[in-house]
């Protein structure tokens, strides 16, 4: 009997009989797996797709269905709204967003091919209303298409890449567009005759010499050996649901408490590393707290427990949130005046920690030393009235004085407020989705896409909404085509 493990491929010689035979095995039926399956099947390969749950979705199905798209002058939606989006600006933004973890080749390729990818998504049947929704939104609450979904218009990004909104959201009323997005992709997958197996959990890969030639699944309680003559594509998501992996590779996430994911337990990363793959930037994670809801709160100012500001609050809510979690003291405060305050979103679990007719009163109510928060706000307001933020370069129109009381300080507590998060580190892959070994060489027959890889959204401080789905769908397609050969 073969000794089956996530951490080491089974030698093909140990496989007594194959239960299924196909060209390409895909593990995981989120957006990455679906897109890989579509491309591989359209290229003429026989494809079998295995999903641990009883249906498609994965973390993609829990998302907003927003995809980060631009370049080449802009999509028709961008152009209709008056935004030209040059490829150079798009690539420059993607690279800044990747920070120290950037994969420049992936950024360049995606910036160049993103418009084609948008056309492809529409050709699969993904609907877009085609309009632009101005303002600061996490997701549209209606069925609008184009939103500002990152830090494009904020410093330092706007100084190095001409800003444009790039979040393209599937036509869908309200949040949760990820589910219909995956449904559309699934319909295409099934229409193409992909052999879909649900309730099928991956147990291991099978290797013949240096080549990955199949995988083993638990289906109906039985170990099922599947031969894949052209290889295996891993599309299983990140490891946010695996506490042991988080402890070893991404322990900062224990500061916060709301992992978002599906069965994202690192299965694909473990399979890939076990086959000789390289897991990189494993410490990186996205986090956000929905502090920009209701929208006027986006004009608020954040201070840490020292009463200091720490970022230009007009950048992406996730970049602000990730920087919050860097602050010492376990919490930060969102400061608002009466004009910008209304009841915060209940699920945010932000609490009113202090109020006052003056900022000095708020400071006192928070038990902060005299001359901290109040001095910060005095300085902020003085310059905001002049239209500038000399400390962090926050820009108008989000930059606005908060000087007409009463005032409020909302507490965002890392342990008790809602800080959703998911992991960004994963397998190192080529631009074609090949899993690379630690020397940088492709592992024969092994491919990966989505959050089991380190891709476009490589750096927690640079994430923008739509980047992960862009990465999943585009590089899922790349992997599917490459595997089909």
Residues that bind its own copies (CB under 8 A): 5, 7-8, 99-101, 248-249, 251-252, 254-255, 270, 273-274, 276, 278, 280-283, 306-309, 326, 369, 371-372, 375, 379, 383, 390-392, 428, 437-439
Q: What DSSP element (H or E) covers 481?
A: helix 467-484
C-beta of 341: minimal distance to its own copies in Å?
26
Q: Among residues 477, 480, 435, which one has the least CA distance to residue 454? A: 435
Return phi, psi of residue 424, to 5°. -115, -15
C-beta of 101: minimal distance to its own copies in Å?
6
C-beta of 461: minimal distance to its own copies in Å?
10
C-beta of 19: minimal distance to its own copies in Å?
26
Of residues 242 and 413, the one with the C-beta less far from its own copies: 242
Bin 108: left if φ > 0, else alpha if -120 < ψ < 50, else beta.
alpha
Of residues 39 and 103, the one with the C-beta less far from its own copies: 103
Of residues 100 and 174, the one with the C-beta less far from its own copies: 100
* Distance separating alpha carbons of residues 179 and 344, to the nearest angstrom: 26
Residue 98 CB contacts under 8 Å (≥ 6 apart), including other chains? 104, 107, 456, 458, 459, 462
Q: At what angle do helices 467-484 and 31-42 cross, to 10 degrees?
A: 30
* Distance separating alpha carbons of residues 478 and 482, to the nearest angstrom: 6
Of residues 308 and 355, the one with the C-beta less far from its own copies: 308
Of residues 5 and 432, the one with the C-beta less far from its own copies: 5
End-to-end CA distance of the chain: 32
Of residues 252 and 361, the one with the C-beta less far from its own copies: 252
Q: Among residues 150, 107, 84, which one has the least CA distance to residue 314? A: 150
Of residues 200 and 279, the one with the C-beta less far from its own copies: 279
C-beta of 248: minimal distance to its own copies in Å?
4
Q: Which two tokens stand for residue 43?
A: 């290229």
C-beta of 394: minimal distance to its own copies in Å?
12
Return phi, psi of residue 343, to 5°. -55, 125
C-beta of 97: minimal distance to its own copies in Å?
14
Q: Is 179:139 a contact under the CB 8 Å cutoff?
A: no
């Amino acid at each position: 009997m073969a000794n089956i493990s996530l951490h080491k491929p089974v030698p093909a010689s140990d496989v007594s009989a194959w239960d299924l035979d196909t060209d390409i095995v895909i593990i995981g039926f989120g957006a990455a797996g679906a897109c890989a399956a579509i491309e591989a099947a359209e290229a003429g390969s026989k494809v079998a797709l295995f999903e641990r749950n009883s249906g498609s979705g994965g973390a993609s199905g829990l998302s907003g269905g927003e995809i980060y798209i631009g370049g080449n002058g802009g999509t028709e939606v961008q152009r209709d709204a008056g935004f030209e989006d040059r490829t150079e600006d798009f690539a420059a933004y993607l690279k800044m967003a990747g920070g120290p973890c950037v994969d420049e080749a992936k950024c360049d390729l995606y910036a160049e091919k993103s418009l084609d990818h948008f056309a492809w998504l529409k050709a699969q049947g993904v609907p877009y209303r085609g309009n632009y929704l101005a303002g600061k939104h996490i997701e549209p609450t209606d069925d609008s298409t184009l939103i500002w979904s990152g830090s494009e218009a904020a410093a330092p990004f706007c100084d190095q890449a001409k800003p444009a909104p790039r979040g393209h959201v599937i036509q869908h009323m309200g949040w949760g567009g990820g589910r219909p997005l995956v449904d559309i992709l699934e319909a295409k997958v099934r229409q193409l005759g992909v052999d879909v197996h649900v309730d099928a959990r991956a147990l291991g890969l099978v290797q013949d010499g240096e080549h990955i030639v199949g995988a083993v699944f638990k289906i109906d309680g039985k170990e099922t050996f599947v031969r894949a003559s052209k290889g295996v594509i891993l599309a299983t998501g990140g490891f946010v649901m695996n506490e042991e992996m988080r402890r070893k590779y991404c322990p900062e996430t224990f500061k916060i408490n709301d992992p978002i994911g599906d069965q994202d337990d690192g299965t694909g990363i473990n399979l890939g590393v076990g086959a000789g793959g390289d897991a990189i930037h494993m410490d990186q994670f996205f986090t956000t707290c929905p502090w920009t809801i209701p929208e006027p709160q986006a004009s608020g100012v954040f201070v840490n427990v020292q009463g200091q500001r720490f970022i230009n609050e007009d950048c992406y809510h996730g970049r602000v949130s990730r920087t919050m979690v860097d602050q010492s003291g376990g919490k930060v405060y969102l400061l608002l005046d009466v004009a910008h305050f209304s009841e915060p979103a209940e699920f945010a679990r932000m609490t009113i920690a202090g109020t006052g007719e003056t900022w000095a009163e708020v400071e006192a109510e928070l038990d902060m030393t005299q001359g901290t928060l109040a001095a910060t706000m005095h300085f902020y307001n003085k310059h905001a009235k002049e239209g500038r933020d000399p400390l962090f370069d926050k820009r108008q129109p989000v930059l606005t004085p908060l000087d007409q009381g009463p005032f409020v300080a909302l507490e965002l507590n890392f342990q008790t407020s809602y800080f959703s998060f998911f992991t960004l580190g994963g397998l190192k892959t080529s631009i074609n989705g090949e899993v690379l070994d630690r020397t940088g060489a492709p592992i024969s027959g092994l491919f990966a896409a989505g959050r089991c890889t380190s891709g476009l959204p490589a750096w927690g401080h640079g994430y923008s909404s739509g980047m992960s789905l862009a990465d999943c769908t585009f590089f899922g397609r790349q992997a599917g085509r490459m595997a089909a050969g």
